[in-house]
Amino acid sequence: MKAAPPLRVLVTGASGLLGSGVARRLVESGADVVTLQRRPSGVAGARDVLGTVTDAAAVERAMSGRDTVVHVAAKVSVSGPAQEFEQVNIGGTATVLESARRAGAERFVHISSPSVAHAGTSIVGEGAGPADPDRARGHYARTKAAGELLALAADGADLRVLALRPHLMWGPGDTQLTERIIDRARAGRMPLLGPAAALIDTLYSDNAVDAVVAAVAAVDRVHGEALVVTNGEPRPVGELIRGLATAGGAPEPRLRIPGGLARRAGAVIERIWEAADLGRDGDEPPLTRFLAEQLSTAHWFDQRRTRAKLDWVPAVSIDRGLELLAAHYRRR
């Protein structure tokens, strides 16, 4: 029997840890991979197109001949002008979707975030829940919610769309969460809020890559919905923060702030930061209301539907991931 032709995949945002990992794994599987991002992806065997998802011409060049899209690119930060998040997370998603339709792409895996359905209260063993831009907290979550809704609205017989929501990804090379915790702990500025006992689930970076690749394989039969992806190992937030800090060679965080006080202080700091334009050089405030809520409320998810739909289970446990992270920092 004749072998199926290789997938022709576009991966956006492949200069980041998740996007580059997905592009690399797809190349290894035999796929024909094009990447779109501002700087070279460093993925051997992939063809880079340099540009942004807000540039329709660059998206068209990258999309040419593609039958599958993995849309990872996003504006990710806890602060910054709303317009910047809207341009990338909503406008950029719309541009990539429209280009995919014109190119005749058949599959679209949209990388979203559990924050799109988080209104600041605890999430305990729930499923994905609907994205809600009106209730999501902060510019990032609101615009990612709107972008996910755009993507899922495009699902149909011709273009099958599946949204994945990786939850708090960490691991070697991660600058969004891992290095921030380690750097702040090293500087004595990583607070534990309240008793730091709220259960949260996270996702080791290799598992995140595996899940996205599994989604590419599954999207023909599983589409039109969102799935949260985690390790499925809820731990107290304080335990996880201490584990990441010490794996990176930093001392255990000792600073403790009551959760209610942190949320109020975060809201004030956020307003001052934006009013004074203190983030114009990319600096982020030491605390925001969103961060305080994330560090003081439970948020873990039932993973049974995700694992069944994707035919996937995490290969690396949290404990093993912390060992690998510590080995990574020892080598550095």
- Active site positions, annotated: 140
Q: What is the DSSP letter of 137?
A: -
For strands 169-170 and 235-236, give the pairing. Answer: unpaired
Length of the chain: 332
Q: How many CA atoms lie within 13 A of 272 on its CB side?
A: 10
Q: How far is CA 85 from CA 90, 91, 112, 141, 237, in A?
A: 8, 9, 14, 9, 27
Q: What is the dihedral of CA 300, 301, 304, 309, to 10 degrees?
A: -130
Contact 210, 275 (CB under 8 A): no
End-to-end C-alpha distance for the chain, whole angstroms: 49
Over the Cα atoms of the chain, what is R_g?
A: 19
